[in-house]
Chains A and B, each alone.
Chain A
Amino acid sequence: EAAVTQSPRNKVTVTGGNVTLSCRQTNSHNYMYWYRQDTGHGLRLIHYSYGAGNLQIGDVPDGYKATRTTQEDFFLLLELASPSQTSLYFCASSDGLGQGLAPLFGEGTRLSVL
């Protein structure tokens, strides 16, 4: 069964802390995405990738790095976390949008930066 698994599910850190959010997909999809969800803003794209070693800038990339180490694994890095990065983060994967195949989302990671 197609799956996108995120870890951890919840994370609390302090301002200036170092955080890594992990995402693994078992769908053999080429594309992987990181979004953040905030009330009043919907889902906003941070970074995405179309394969191992590739990284594309999204719409709200400031303060975030990402790395795609394998076809399956995509990481989001916050090296100096700030309270403005408190949010619900979603990872997704897709096989490209041209065939009408919608990205499949994980269950999310709730991050609090104190």
Chain B
Amino acid sequence: QQKVQQSPESLSVPEGGMASFNCTSSDRNFQYFWWYRQHSGEGPKALMSIFSDGDKKEGRFTAHLNKASLHVSLHIRDSQPSDSALYFCAASETGANTGKLTFGHGTILRVHP
């Protein structure tokens, strides 16, 4: 069973709009979450991490974590064409010193003019 599940599979938003991504873990040992972004032809790059319940904001990006439901979301406001990419949710176990990071399947974002 996929331990980190993402939805939707793909998303299309207008330039200037809000893009929202969802991620749920089926493993209660997964308590630390990261969001990554991958542009075509490049390696994944980390956007932000979230470890505590509630919201975390970095510029146009806001992540939200609900530890009780193991649900994390990412919202991009004022989306730009350069935000078009593959977005991954990743999770690691509590304690986190195992160093093992498990990824979801990803969500493709297209921002159209």
Contacts and interface: CB of A to CB of B under 8 A. Distances in A.
Given A103-B46, A106-B43, A97 B96 contact: yes
A50 B96 CA distance: 13
A interface bracket (residues with beta carbon within 8 Å of B): 20 to 34
A16 interface: no
B40 to A, nearest CB: 11
B99 A94 contact: yes
Nearest to A41: B105
Contacts of B34: 102
A103 B100 contact: no
A56 B49 CA distance: 24
B88 A42 contact: yes
B95 A98 contact: yes
B43 A90 contact: yes
B44 A48 contact: no
A9 B102 CA distance: 24
Contacts of A59: 102
Given A96-B96, A97-B92, A105-B43, A42 B106 contact: yes
A98 B96 contact: yes
Interface of B: 6, 32, 34, 36, 42-46, 49, 51, 88, 90, 92, 95-106
Given A4-B43, A42-B103, A43-B44, 13 more contacts: A31-B99, A42-B106, A44-B103, A48-B100, A58-B100, A59-B102, A96-B97, A97-B98, A98-B95, A100-B51, A102-B36, A102-B46, A102-B49
